Amino acid sequence: MFGSLKALPADPILGLLAKYREDSNPNKIDLGVGVYKNEAGHTAILGCVKKAEKYRHDNEDTKVYIGPAGSPLFNNEMSKLIFGSHKVLIENRARTVSTPGGTGALRVAAEFIKSCKAGATIWVSNPTWANHTGLFQAAGLTVKTYPYYDYENKSLDFDGMLAALKEVSADDAVLLHACCHNPSGMDLTNEQWQQVAEIAKAKAWLPVVDMAYQGFGDGLDEDAYGLRLMADSVEEMIVCSSCSKNFGLYRERIGATTIIANSAANADIANSVLLSVVRCIYSMPPAHGAALVETILHSDELRQQWHVELKEMRDRINGNRQVIVDKLIENGVTRDFSFITRQKGMFSFLGITPEQVQRLQDEFSIYMVGSSRMSIAGIAPTNIDYLAQSIAKIL
């Protein structure tokens, strides 16, 4: 049976990471992988996570299954983190299950949508996270795109986006990035969210909001503004969230899928389908990451420490945006790169050609995706001058 298989190409980002690791240049810079790094280039464990791990080590007394939905405390705390004091929680219209990371949350959402309508269509932004298309198609959904990023003007193609969303059918789903758009870093303003929410209500398509970076843009509540506004406008909605970035729990693989229905009774029905989806994919979610998150969010002390550590990460990323623009100017670059400071989150399109991206890799050992998407967190005081000088040379 295996003899009919043909080798598939490696994931571009994972392949880039392998090349970076093999590179012997002491000045090499990794701007490809989407993980937060401190100024020393290290992805350290947060202090609040260390304390939560100690608490778990001292108090855990069983390794029994936690059920398909995961920990009720985690699900409750995540619902509050996502929605705050929103009416969907007051009206008991939201149901949350824990998942193996944000990718697991998206796949659960995709299978849930397929349960609602076989062969359903989901619309994603152009561009979007590279894995969105593959995981939705693997679940049997049809994937279409709507305009989003204006590559020429380094801005949001909002008019094109609105025009496309007005044509989406009522039985389709639309994927929206809550904040820190991956890969462009270009987010909707509060006013633009209002217009998108009005279209979603009028056309009655299903919003599916991917929130992988809550707290990395402007703040925890600020980054959830759009999805909360959307929840004000529509009766049904799905939110896929991740704890990988904002808690630094990348390898623990913990995320959540939240379903909003138009009533508590219908939320229970939807939840029964959601649990069936989970049961058929991985049966029970992992417990460790969820236990750490719920311990932090349920403790006033640890939650406050997390807020401080999260702000430090956010401020460093935002600071790096201004630093790279300033350093390029210092090195005589006349092209306008100020758009980088108007973007949010981990990523930005540098706006150079694939050939120039390849030159950065071949001549200077600077690694980024061929689209020129770079991880802003990979910039550090020790490499910023070399990075700016190298970019100036290939320009």
Other C-beta atoms within 10 Å of 246: how many?
25
Residue 205 annotated in active site = no
Alpha-helix runs per DSSP H in 149-249:
158-165, 190-203, 220-223, 225-233
- At 189, list the tokens: 């303003």
> Measured between alpha carbons, how far is 230 from 131 in angstroms, rounded to an integer?
24
For residue 70, what are its two tokens? Answer: 């995961």
Q: Is 336 a catalytic residue?
A: no
| Burial label, 185 (beta-carbon count in 10 A; 0-12, 13-18, 19+) | buried
Task: Give the up-direction half-sphere exposure of residue 137: CA atoms within 13 A in the CB hemisphere.
Answer: 8
The catalytic position among 28, 51, 154, 245 is: 245
3-class DSSP assignment, residue 336: coil
> What are residue 166's phi and psi, to 5 degrees?
-70, -20
147 DSSP β-pair partners: 126
Contacts of 311 (CB under 8 A, 6+ apart): none
- The one catalytic residue among 37, 123, 129, 172: 129
Here the tokens at position 389 are 């000088």
Contact 289, 245 (CB under 8 A): no
Residues 6+ apart with CB under 8 A from 170: 203, 204, 205
What are 203's two structure tokens?
């056309």
- Rounded to whole angstroms, how far apart are CA atoms 142 and 1? 28
Q: Which is the catalytic residue, given 210, 223, 306, 327?
A: 210
Task: Note if 63 is an active site residue.
Answer: no
Distance CA 50, CA 296 (A): 10
Question: CA–CA separation, 371 vs 349, rounded Å?
Answer: 7
Contact between residue 48 and residue 296 where contact means Cβ atoms under 8 Å apart: yes
- To the nearest 10°, the Cα dihedral for 378, 381, 386, 392? 80
Whether the CB-CB separation of 102 and 240 falls below 8 Å is answered with yes
Catalytic positions, please?
Answer: 129, 210, 245
